[in-house]
C-alpha cells in the first residue's frame, strides 16, 4: 500500500491559488445534495506552505526548534521553528554515516592515520582510535554513531573522500567528503542544511533545521544496518590485531539503567556543544510497533561547569514531554472515506475516491478539507487532515472508478 510522502515545503502553497475559488462552489453543491450540519462544512485555513505550518505546537519546552514526523505515513505531528537554520553539533555524524554507506562497503578495512586522532585531552567525544589499527567500515560507523567518535568521523571521511576524489591527500579527501555531504543533502531536497565539517564542530557556516534533520533521520532508519547500530545501548568491537574498543551509546533513552530510558526509543543520535545547546534526533516506535516517529529536538538548555562537565541538559525532559503528549493525544487510525462526517458525501459530489487508506496519527480534534483542483488542471486533489488550524497530513484523491488503473 502506498502512503503519502513526507510533506514538501511547497505542497500546501500549491493549493492556495485554486482552493478559495472552489470553496463557495463546493458549499453550494454540498447543500444541494443535502449534506449535514454546517459545522461539518467548516474547513480550516489552507496552510501557507512552510514546514512550520505543518504539525501542532509541541508542549512547552526549552528547545529552540522541534519537528516530529510519522515516518510511516508522512504525517507531521509537532513543529516549532522547524525551518530555523541552527547548529546541530554531532547530529552531523548521521549524514556522515549516510554518505559513507552510499559509497563504500561495511566490510572494507580502514587503517587509522595519526591525523584521524583527536587530542586525548580535548572535550570532544571520541572512539579513542589508535594510529596504525585496522578496523572495518562497520566498526568505525559504530564508533561514530554510539560514542559519537570524532576520530571515527575523521577516519571515515579520509577513507571515503579518498575514494571519491581518487587521492591519498588527506585534506583533498576531506574536502571531497564534505562536498558529497552537501550534494547528498541537496539530493534529498534539503534547503536548510549546509555542512562544513564531518563531526559537527561549531562553525557559523554549518547548519541544518529540525525539518531537514527529520528527513535525514528517516533516511538512516531506512538503512537496516545503520538502524540496527543506532539501536544498540553499547557494544564492543576489535581491530584486526585484536585491540578492543568498548562503545557506549550517548543516547540516554536507550540505557535501561538511566532515568531517561524509554523502551520504545530505537535510536538515533545526540549532539551538544556550547553553540548548539543540547540536541537530539530520536526514532521511537508507535502504534504497537507498526509505525516509527522521528523526533528532532534542537537547542535545548545546556549548561556546563568550570570543568566543562554538563550540569544542566534539558533535551531529555523536552523529548519525554513531547512523547508523553503524543501518547495521550494521538491515535493511529486507518483513514478511509468514512473516517470523517461528510467526507464520503463530498467525494461523491466531485466524483472522487480514495485509493489509499493509510494509517495516520489523528487526535480528537482532527478535521478534514477536500481540496479539488479546477477543471483542466494537472494538479492532483487531496484530503487534507488538520488538528485545529495545523495540518497533519494529506491523502491523494482520484477520479471515481480508477482504482487499480494507475490513475
Indicate whether 347 belongs to any domain: yes
The pLDDT tens digits of the residues spanning 282-331 come to 999 999 999 999 999 999 999 999 888 889 999 999 999 999 999 999 99
Is 366 inside any structural domain? yes
SS3 content of the chain, % helix, strand, coil (to 5): 35, 25, 40
Domain coverage including residue 210: 89-250
CB 11 within 8 A of CB 330: no
Please state, for a pLDDT cut of 70, what percent of the chain lies above it: 85
Q: State the Cα–Cα distance between residues 62 and 315, nearest whole angstrom.
A: 8
Instruction: Check residue 370 and report its DSSP letter.
Output: E
The backbone torsions φ and ψ at residue 41, rounded to the nearest 5 degrees and listed phi first, read: -90, -20
38 lies in a domain? yes
Domain-embedded: residue 61:
no
Confidence at residue 54, expressed as pLDDT on a 0 to 100 scale = 84
What CATH code is carried by the domain that includes residue 211?
A: 3.40.710.10
Task: Say yes or no: 186 and 107 in one domain.
Answer: yes
In the chain, the number of structural domains is 2
> pLDDT tens-digit profile of 17-51?
444 444 444 444 443 333 332 223 333 222 223 33
**Do 240 and 153 fall into the same domain?**
yes
Q: Which of 250, 281, 304 is the last residue of a domain?
A: 250
- Boundary (domain end) residue, out of 250, 284, 319: 250
Does any domain span residue 350? yes
Q: Which of 161-165, 203-207, 400-404 is predicted with the least confidence, judged by mean pLDDT? A: 400-404
Three-class SS of residue 294? strand
pLDDT for 375 beyond 90: no
CA distance 77 to 79: 7
Same domain (yes/no): 110, 35: no
Residue 5 lies in a domain: no
Residue 4 domain flag: no
H or E segment and range at residue 153: helix 150-165
Whether 351 and 208 share a structural domain: no
Is 320 inside a domain boundary? no
Q: Does the global pTM surpass 0.95? A: no
Element (H, E) at 367: strand 366-371
Amino acid at each position: 500500500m502506498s502512503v503519502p510522502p513526507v510533506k514538501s515545503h511547497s505542497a500546501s502553497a500549491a493549493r492556495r491559488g485554486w482552493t478559495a475559488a472552489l470553496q463557495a462552489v463546493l458549499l453550494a453543491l454540498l447543500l444541494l445534495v443535502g449534506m449535514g450540519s454546517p459545522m461539518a462544512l467548516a474547513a480550516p485555513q489552507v496552510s501557507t506552505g512552510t514546514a512550520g505550518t505543518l504539525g501542532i505546537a509541541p508542549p512547552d519546552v526549552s528547545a529552540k526548534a522541534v519537528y516530529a514526523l510519522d515516518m510511516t505515513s508522512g504525517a507531521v505531528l509537532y513543529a516549532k521553528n522547524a525551518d530555523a537554520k541552527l547548529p546541530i553539533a554531532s547530529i552531523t555524524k548521521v549524514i556522515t554515516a549516510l554518505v559513507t554507506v552510499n559509497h563504500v562497503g561495511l566490510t572494507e578495512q580502514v587503517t587509522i592515520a595519526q591525523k584521524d586522532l583527536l587530542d586525548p585531552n580535548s572535550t570532544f567525544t571520541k572512539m579513542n582510535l589508535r594510529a596504525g589499527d585496522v578496523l572495518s567500515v562497520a566498526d568505525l560507523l559504530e564508533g561514530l554513531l554510539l560514542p559519537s567518535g570524532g576520530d571515527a568521523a575523521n577516519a571515515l571521511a579520509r577513507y571515503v573522500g579518498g575514494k571519491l576524489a581518487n587521492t591519498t591527500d588527506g585534506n583533498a579527501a576531506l574536502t571531497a567528503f564534505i562536498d558529497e555531504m552537501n550534494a547528498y543533502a541537496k539530493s534529498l531536497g534539503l534547503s536548510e542544511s549546509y555542512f562544513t565539517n564531518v563531526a559537527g564542530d561549531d562553525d557559523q557556516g554549518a547548519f541544518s533545521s529540525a525539518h531537514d534533520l527529520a528527513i535525514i533521520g528517516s533516511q538512516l532508519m531506512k538503512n537496516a544496518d545503520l538502524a540496527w547500530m543506532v539501536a544498540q545501548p553499547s557494544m564492543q568491537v576489535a581491530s584486526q590485531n585484536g585491540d578492543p574498543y568498548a562503545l557506549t551509546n550517548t543516547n540516554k533513552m536507550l540505557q535501561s539503567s538511566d532515568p531517561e530510558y524509554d523502551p520504545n526509543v530505537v535510536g538515533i543520535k545526540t549532539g551538544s556543544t556550547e553553540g548548539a545547546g543540547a540536541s537530539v534526533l530520536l526514532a521511537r516506535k508507535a502504534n504497537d510497533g507498526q509505525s516509527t516517529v522521528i523526533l528532532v529536538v534542537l537547542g535545548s538548555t545546556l549548561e556546563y561547569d568550570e570543568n566543562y562537565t554538563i550540569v544542566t541538559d534539558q533535551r531529555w525532559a523536552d523529548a519525554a514531554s513531547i512523547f508523553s503528549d503524543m501518547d495521550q493525544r494521538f491515535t493511529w487510525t486507518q483513514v478511509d472515506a468514512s473516517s470523517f462526517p461528510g467526507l464520503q458525501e463530498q467525494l461523491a459530489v466531485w466524483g472522487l475516491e480514495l485509493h489509499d487508506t493509510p494509517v495516520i496519527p489523528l487526535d480528537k480534534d482532527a478535521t478534514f478539507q477536500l481540496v479539488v483542483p479546477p477543471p483542466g488542471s494537472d494538479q492532483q486533489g487531496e484530503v487534507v487532515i488538520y488538528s485545529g488550524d495545523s495540518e497533519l497530513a494529506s491523502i491523494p484523491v482520484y477520479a471515481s472508478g480508477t482504482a487499480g488503473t494507475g490513475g
